[in-house]
Amino acid sequence: MCRPSEVDDLPLALSVKTVARLADVSTDSVYEAIAAGTCPWPVLRVGRTIRIPRASVLASLRLDVGTEQPPGAGEPGAHCACGLDAAEKSQP
């Protein structure tokens, strides 16, 4: 797995090999998911080159350095990244 300083140094668009290393899966698994249309991240294609956005991968693996979310953020009923329930947010 990567240390925070290594994560910061990753390019904005990651190769399949880098994504596989971060997700601790084989490159074949990533290529198969892309081919089947089940890849959990957006896939960018330029010619024969495949790239996957760094932000999507890091967020799904909860490795997004410097953008820590409060406990409960992103859970059902939570209001954006603040972690508050939408009903709580509207109360004064």
Q: What stretch of H or E contains 55?
A: helix 54-60
Range of the domain at 23: 4-90
Q: Based on the number of CB atoms within 10 Å of its own CB, is 71 exposed (0-12), middle (13-18) or buried (19 or more)?
A: exposed
pTM reported for the whole predicted model? 0.65
Q: How many domains does the chain have?
A: 1
pLDDT digits (tens, 9 = 90+) for 36-82: 999 999 999 999 999 999 999 999 998 876 554 545 555 555 444 44
